[in-house]
Structure 1
Amino acid sequence: MEQKDSRFAVLIDADNVSPKYIKYILDEVSDQGVATYKRIYGDWTDISKKSWKEQLLRYSINPIQQYSNTNGKNSTDSAMIIDAMDILYSGNVEGFCLVSSDSDFTKLAQRLRESGMFVLGMGEQKTPSSFRVACDAFKILEIISQNEDDISPAITAVSENPARYGTSQDETPSITSKAEIERTVSRVLTENNDHGKNTTLSEIGSILQKKFSEFDVRNYGYSKLSTFLESMNDIEVLKTGHNYLVKERQNTVSRQQIEKCITDLICSNGGHIDNLSIIHDALRNRFPGFDVKQYGYSRISSFINSFKKFKITNNTVQMKQ
C-alpha cells in the first residue's frame, strides 16, 4: 500500500501521555498517511486533564470520556481497546497509531497486526519492551519532540548482550546498540553483493525498521539515515542518479595488490596452494585488517574466484592456464 494514501486511527491514552507531545505525534503520523480518526481517552472530569483542552481544540482531537470507577486503575484501557476493535471491523483504516507508555496495550497491538494492520506505537522512554516490539514501528516521544538542531543521543544503547531486550516484561529497555545496527547492515550488503545486487538506502531503512521496531536515527543523535550510516567505520553512502546506494567502504588495499600477493604465494609453492586458509592467513599477515567483506564477499573462496587468474578445485588454488 502507498504510505501517503494510508488511513490511520490515532488512539491516545491521556493517562500515560503528556499534552506537550501531541504536535509531534500527529507529525509522525502524517509521515505515514492520514489521521482519519483522532481520539483520546481519559476521565475529563479530572482537573489534572485541564491542560489537554487547548491541544484538543487546536488539533481537532475527539475526547472520549471514561470515568475512573476504581482508584488506582487505568480505566481508559478497556474503552480504547473496544474502540480499536470497532474501527478494525469497520474496514475504514489501514493502520493504527497507539499512543501510550503502558504495556497493557501489547495484546491489542498484536491483535491488530494479526489482522493485517500496520501498528505505529508511541510512548515515553519508560515504555516496556513488550509493547515496543509488538508494534511494527515504535517512536520514543522524548526523541521525536526534540528539535533537529538539538538532536543528541538521549537514550543509552543496549550492551552487546545478544538478548536485545530485558528478560522482565516490565523492564524499561534501551535502544539497540549501534554496533548491532552496523552488523545488520553489513550482513545485508554481503548477501546482496553475493547475488550481484545493489543495496539502496531505502532498502536498508526498511530492513532496519522491520528488524528493530524502535529504530529511529534520531535515537542516535542524527537527523538523516544517510548521515547515520556514514558515521559507521566500514559503510559509505553514494548518490547515483536519483538513488542513494549503500556500500562497504573501499579498502586502501587494491585488488591488484591482492592478486600479486596470491600469485607470488602460488608460484613460491610449486604452482598450487592446497588449502584456502593458507591464502587467507597470508593475506591477513601481508595486509593487516584484511577482510573479504570489505570487497563485497562473504567467503574467501568467492573472493578468489572473482579473479580471472585463479581457479579453485577441491580447496586447491592454482593459476589458470
Structure 2
Amino acid sequence: MGGRVTKDNSAKLAVLIDADNSSAKKIPLILQEVAKYGVASVKRVYGDWSSENLKNWRDVLLPHAITPVQQFAYTSGKDATDMMLIINAMDLLYSKALDGFCIVSSDSDFTPLASRIRESGLVVYGFGEKSKTPEAFINACDKFIYIENLEDINKTDTSIQLITSTNNDNNQVVNPTQVTEVKNFEKLQLDSVSTQLTIDSATLQLIYKAIKDTADDDGWAYLGNLGKYLVMLKPDFDVRTFGCNKLSELLEKLGLFTFQRRGSQIFVRKKASFSKFLKAVQDTIIAKYGINQWVYLNPLAIEINKSYPNLDVSEYDCKSIYQALLKIESKYFEFSDDKRKLQLLQSKNS
C-alpha cells in the first residue's frame, strides 16, 4: 500500500495526534476526513496532561473515544511527547495489524517516522496547518491534508451548485465506442461561466504534467487516475485549497481543459491553443482567397475542413468550424458589420 492513496473504508488506520502541535477543536473534522480512507482502529493523543495548556482537550477525548497518552516533560527544551508518539508508532508498525497511519501534527520531527512507515509498505496520511508544516514532512507522507481545508468544506457555498447525474451505475459495462463530448461537465452550474479560477503557476504546471504522464495516445487522461497521480506528485495537492469539492470542478473552473465521457468514465485533456486554429484560417485564406479579401464564413469553413480534416474544434468549445470562426478576436482579422464575412489583414505578414 505504500506510495498509493486509496479510499478503502475497510483499511485499518492508527490515528496518532501530537497534542502540542494540534488544535482540539479540529479533531472532529480530522476524524471525519480519516473515515474517507479507512477505519480508525487506534486513536491516541500524546501530551503532558498535567499541563494547563492541554485542558481544552478533555472535552474532545471522551466523545471520540481517543486514548490520551501521558508523557511528562522530563527536561526543558526536550520534546518527550514526540519521542513517545514515535515509539508507539513503531510498536504498532511491528504488530502488523494495521494498513496505515494518520499523523496529526505540524512538526517536522515526524518526517523520519513517516518515511520509515512507508518503507514498510504502509500508507501515511499527514494532517497539519498549511502555514506551519514544513515541506519535508509533507513530502514524506503519501497524502497530506491541510486542516484549513477541512474547515472550508463545512461552510455553505451558495455560489456553486453541483448536480451529479444519478443514472450512472459504477458497475455498468463501458462501451469504448460510446464517446460523447462533455461541454458542461456533470452539469456544473456556475453563477458566471466566464469567471475562471485563479491558480498558481506551479500547480497549473503540475496538472499539465499529470495529464501528459497519464494520457493515452490521443492525449486523454482518465479523471480517476489523474487525481491519484496528482497526489503522488504532490502529497498536499487538494482541490479544497482552491475552493472546490472535486477535481472535475477545479478543472472545469479553470476553463483550460476539455472533457470526454466514455460510458460512465470521464476523460480530460488540455485544450488546444486557439493560435493553431488561427494559423489554419490564415493559411487557408492566403491559399484560396488572398489578403484583404472579404470571404464569406460558410465557404471558408468548407475550405478549412478540406485542408484540415482532422481539426477538432470541440477543443475550443465549438460544435463547428463556422462557430469557431465567430470566436476569432485577433487584430490580424476583421469581420464585416453583419459578421458574415472575414478578411485577413495585410499586417498579418508584415
* TM-score normalized with structure 2 length: 0.63
In structure 1, how many angstroms separate the alpha carbons of the residues matched to 2:215 and 2:112? 39
The one-character-per-residue Cα deviations of 1:284-308 (angstroms, maximum 9, x if unpaired) are xxxxxx9xxx79xxxxxxxxxxxxx
Q: Alpha carbons of 1:247 and 1:215: their partners in 2 closer, same or farther (altered >3 Å)?
A: same
- Report 1 or 2 for greater relative contact order, CA contacts < 8 Å, sequence distance ≥ 6: 2
Preserved contact between residue 38 and residue 62 of structure 1 (Cα < 8 Å): yes
In structure 1, the partner of 2:124 is: 119
In structure 1, how many angstroms separate the alpha carbons of the residues matched to 2:19 and 2:38? 23
What do you get for the CA RMSD once the two structures are aligned? 3.3
Offset, 1:72? 3.5
Offset, 1:218? 1.1
In structure 1, the partner of 2:67 is: 62
Alignment of 1:67-86 (within 5 A): 67-86=72-91
Structure 1 gaps of 5+ residues are 153-176, 269-289, 296-321
In structure 2, how many angstroms separate the alpha carbons of the residues matched to 1:184 and 1:142? 22
Offset, 1:181? 2.6
**Which SS does the other structure have where 2:50 is aligned?**
coil
In structure 1, the partner of 2:237 is: 215
Preserved contact between residue 12 and residue 39 of structure 2 (Cα < 8 Å): yes
1:242 aligns with 2:264: yes
What amino acid does structure 2 have at the position aligned with 1:141? I
In structure 2, how many angstroms separate the alpha carbons of the residues matched to 1:206 and 1:117? 16
1:20 aligns with 2:25: yes
Size of the aligned set, in residue pairs, is 248
**Which SS does the other structure have where 2:36 is aligned?**
helix
Offset, 1:91? 0.5
Offset, 1:226? 1.0
1:137 aligns with 2:156: no
In structure 2, how many angstroms separate the alpha carbons of the residues matched to 1:151 and 1:210? 32
In structure 1, how many angstroms separate the alpha carbons of the residues matched to 2:227 and 2:77? 41
Offset, 1:122? 0.7
Preserved contact between residue 124 and residue 141 of structure 1 (Cα < 8 Å): yes
Preserved contact between residue 215 and residue 222 of structure 2 (Cα < 8 Å): no
In structure 1, how many angstroms separate the alpha carbons of the residues matched to 2:231 and 2:55? 36
In structure 2, how many angstroms separate the alpha carbons of the residues matched to 1:32 and 1:67? 32
Instruction: Identify the match of residue 104 of structure 2 among 99, 112, 115.
Output: 99
In structure 2, how many angstroms separate the alpha carbons of the residues matched to 1:219 and 1:54? 29
The one-character-per-residue Cα deviations of 1:240-266 (angstroms, maximum 9, x if unpaired) are 43222212236668979839937976x
Preserved contact between residue 15 and residue 74 of structure 1 (Cα < 8 Å): no
The one-character-per-residue Cα deviations of 1:145-204 (angstroms, maximum 9, x if unpaired) are 22243599xxxxxxxxxxxxxxxxxxxxxxxx6322322332344455562463121111
In structure 1, the partner of 2:345 is: none
Preserved contact between residue 214 and residue 225 of structure 2 (Cα < 8 Å): no
What amino acid does structure 2 have at the position aligned with 1:139? I
What amino acid does structure 2 have at the position aligned with 1:149? T
Moved more, 124-133 or 75-84: 124-133
In structure 2, how many angstroms separate the alpha carbons of the residues matched to 1:191 and 1:59? 42
1:228 aligns with 2:250: yes
In structure 2, how many angstroms separate the alpha carbons of the residues matched to 1:91 and 1:210? 24
**Which SS does the other structure have where 1:121 is aligned?**
strand
What amino acid does structure 1 have at the position aligned with 2:145? K
What amino acid does structure 2 have at the position aligned with 1:122? F
In structure 1, how many angstroms separate the alpha carbons of the residues matched to 2:212 and 2:106? 37
In structure 1, how many angstroms separate the alpha carbons of the residues matched to 2:43 and 2:260? 40
Structure 2 gaps of 5+ residues are 160-198, 291-310, 317-350
In structure 2, the partner of 1:156 is: none
Q: Alpha carbons of 1:262 and 1:115: their partners in 2 closer, same or farther (altered >3 Å)?
A: farther
1:187 aligns with 2:217: no
Alignment of 1:27-38 (within 5 A): 27-38=32-43
Offset, 1:97? 0.4
What amino acid does structure 1 have at the position aligned with 2:202? E
Q: Alpha carbons of 1:185 and 1:129: their partners in 2 closer, same or farther (altered >3 Å)?
A: closer
In structure 1, the partner of 2:156 is: 149
In structure 2, how many angstroms separate the alpha carbons of the residues matched to 1:102 and 1:188? 29
Over the matched positions of the two proteins, sequence identity in percent amounts to 40
In structure 1, how many angstroms separate the alpha carbons of the residues matched to 2:219 and 2:271? 16
Moved more, 194-203 or 52-61: 194-203
What amino acid does structure 1 have at the position aligned with 2:229? I
What amino acid does structure 1 have at the position aligned with 2:35? S
Offset, 1:238? 4.2
What amino acid does structure 1 have at the position aligned with 2:125? L
In structure 2, the partner of 1:272 is: none
1:90 aligns with 2:112: no
Offset, 1:5? 2.1
